[in-house]
Every structure is written in structure tokens, then in C-alpha cells.
Amino acid sequence: MQEFSASAARALDAPAPDERAAAAERAAAAAWPTTADEMWRYSRIDDLDLAAFTPAASVTRVTGAGDALLPVGDLAAVPTVVDGASPDVFAELNAAFMTPVVIRIPAGHTAAEPIVVTHEVGGAGVAVFPRLVVDAGADSEATVIERFVAADPDGRDATLVVPVLQLRAGPAARIQYLGVNELDEATWQIGHQQAVGDQDSTVTLATVALGGAYARVRTDARVAGPGGSTRQVALYFAGGDQMHDFRTIQDHDAPHTTSDLLFKGVVQDRSRSVYTGLIKIRPHARGTAAFQTNRNLTLGAGAWAESVPNLEIETNDVRCSHASTVGPIDPEQRFYLESRGIPTQIAERLIVLGFFDEVLEQLPASPELAASLRARVSAKLDLDRTLTGVA
């Protein structure tokens, strides 16, 4: 495809044209993923026509970063924080056509306020490739919020956004990240998150997904130093014909490390969700504790959710558990509320909001943002019920 060729990457008004062209060549040579691939099983990747899109620079603004925001003069300032080859063709396309933002937190520094990175996404046939790099020095602390916002909330133009997050937490660093998907329901999102935590570091990776026609995030979270820990939480809510797709890897690459994951989702109407997760404990990662929980509510016979937890444990000195559930609202909970005079629609809204409370309380967000997200969940529930004629 000429739009995504090496010559197109080289022609960009951007630094490092040779590196971009090489990434585009690797993308052209890479196999296109299919649902036969385990990492893409149950996805909608077969429905994506890349030829329908043309790459463009993303529209991004950053607040709260101050001196931590680095100018990107060349791609050498965009570090790779995960060893090994790119996971798929989309990561290579991002390397070829990315619009990077680099935030470097100095050692010992505590950011006084959240750093907010907002990408405005929209436009018929447009493909954007934002890349956010967070490089946190030893004993630093910061909260980073990345928002994907629809340029036209009521838009119906097909748009593709392929974001990459690269996060490195140095020794004893404490980094919280929150990604919020507020896209319109015609946009495709195929994202990849890479995080590495050093000794005694603490990394939180949080996600709220409400928008998108098909919204996918793959997260590779590696704990590379003794005493390090990661925490992953997600809230996702799909309606209409939407699909949310999450793939997570909790990779323990050092002894005496911990990871904990809690993902909660709701699907209704004809929407779908997929969660597949892997806890990977390497032979030398003795004394590790790792936990993985995925809960899903299905509101209606047409909604569908898939949950597939996995363990890959190569040492015996560990504590691990995984759990997943998929099912409708508990009829006893609904009956309890209805028996006290609460209409069915309001009862379901209260149950859904209560279901999400456990995640909302753990988001690295201000009370105002948490309240706004709660309101959006409630509004989405009411909107989708109205559209489908549910009383």
C-alpha cells in the first residue's frame, strides 16, 4: 500500500526519515494478523481494511509537564523500553508514522500535578500513530493521564488510531498511568502498552474504555527488578455494535516481585468484549505473588463476553491465582431493589455503577475526573437503553 510505504514514511516532515522508512519496510514484510493467531483470537481484525486509511500527524496537547516534556529532535530521544522485536505490524507502523511525546521525570522528583496528554482523533479515512514515552528516574513520582478524545463526538467517519505507550520506571520510582478512551463509535483503536519496572518500583496501569467501534489494547507489563510491583485496573463498557478487546501479560523477570490485575466490563445490546491474560513467571522469579481477576456483566441476550486467563509458571516458590466470570445481573440483586419500589431501569443502573465502583476507586484520577467518568457510564447506560427500546 503506497500510503504506508517506506517512501511515504521517508517523505514525512519528521526527524529520522531513514529509521521511519526501515520500520515501514518491516511492516510491509510482516504477516497480517488473523483470528487464527492466539493473540488475535476472537478479535475483529479480519474486518479492518488498512487501505481505506491514510497516515497523518496526531493532534496532541500536553498540560502539567513543565520541563519534563522533552523536544523530540530525533528518534534517538524516543527510547525502547521493552527488549525484543515489535509485537506486530501495528507497532512497526507506529514506528514509521508516529507522532511522539517524550516525558522524562528526573530522579528524585515528584510531579506536583498530573501530566495530561490529550489526543484529538477524527477525520474520514485518517490514521494517526501517537506514541507516549514516560521515562521515570530513580525515586521519582508522577501521574500521567492520556486521553483519546473524539474530534466530533457524534462523528460517523471511519478513523484509525494506533497508539503506543512506552513506560520505564527506575529504581524505587512510583508511576501511575491512566488511559481514557472517549472516542466516537466509528473509530478503530489498536494500541500497545509496554511497561518495565526496576527494583522496588511501583507501576499502576489503568484504563477506562467507553468509545470506539473496535477498541483493542495489548499491555506487556514486565517487572525487571527485585521488589518491583505492577497494578493493572480497567473499566470497559460497550453498547450497540461496539467491541472492546484487552490482552495482558504480567511478566515477572526478577525474584520477590508482585503483580495484581482487576478488569471489569459490561456489554449490552449486540456489543462484545474479549479479555485474555497471561501471568508469566520466569525460572529465576522465585518468591513472586501474582493475581489476575476479570469480571463481566452481560446485559441482554445479544451481548457477548469472552474471558480467558492463563498461567505460565516456571518455578515453584510462588503464589498465583486467576479468576474470571461472565454472566447477567444477579436477579436477586435486581429483585431486592425492585421490591423497594425502584424501577427496573434505575435498578440496573445502580447495579452497574456499583459493579464498577471497585475499579473507579482505584483509578489514579482526581475526584472530579472520577465523577465525570461515573457520569459518562451512567449516561451511556441510559443512551443505549433508549436506542434499543429497553424500558
**Residue 139 backbone zone (phi > 0: left; psi -120 to 50: alpha; other: beta):** left
**CA separation for the pair 366, 388 (Å, rounded):** 33
Q: Is 363 part of a structural domain of the chain? A: no
Residue 260 lies in a domain: yes
pLDDT of residue 16: 84
Question: What's the pLDDT band for 83 if we cut at 50, 70, 90?
Answer: low
Domain coverage including residue 292:
2-328
> Could you give the number of structural domains in the chain?
1
Q: How far apart are CA 274 and CA 170, in angstroms?
A: 32
pLDDT band at 391 (very low <50, low <70, confident <90, very high): very low
Domain annotation covers residue 384: no
DSSP of 335-360: HHHHTTT--HHHHHHHHHHHHHHHHH
Q: Mean per-residue pLDDT for 162-179?
A: 97
- Looking at residue 80, its pLDDT comes to 57
Higher pLDDT, 327 or 156: 327
Question: pTM of the entire structure?
Answer: 0.94
Q: Supply the mean pLDDT for the chain.
A: 91
- pLDDT tier, 314 (very low <50, low <70, confident <90, very high otherwise): very high
Region for 287 from its dihedrals, namely left if φ exceeds 0, alpha if ψ lies in -120 to 50, beta otherwise: left
CA-based angle 118:122:128, to the nearest 5?
70
pLDDT reported for residue 155: 74
Q: Cell 456483566 maps to which residue?
A: 297
155 versus 301: the higher-pLDDT residue is 301
Q: At residue 273, does pLDDT exceed 60?
A: yes
Is 255 domain-assigned? Answer: yes
* Res. 71: pLDDT tops 60: yes
pLDDT tens digits along 323-338: 999 999 999 998 999 9
Sign (positive/negative) of CA torsion 210, 214, 215, 216?
Answer: positive
Type of residue numbered 358:
E
Q: Is residue 367 part of a domain?
A: no
**Is there a domain that residue 345 lies in?**
no
pLDDT of residue 302: 92
* Residue 188 is assigned to a structural domain of this protein: yes
| 282 belongs to a structural domain | yes
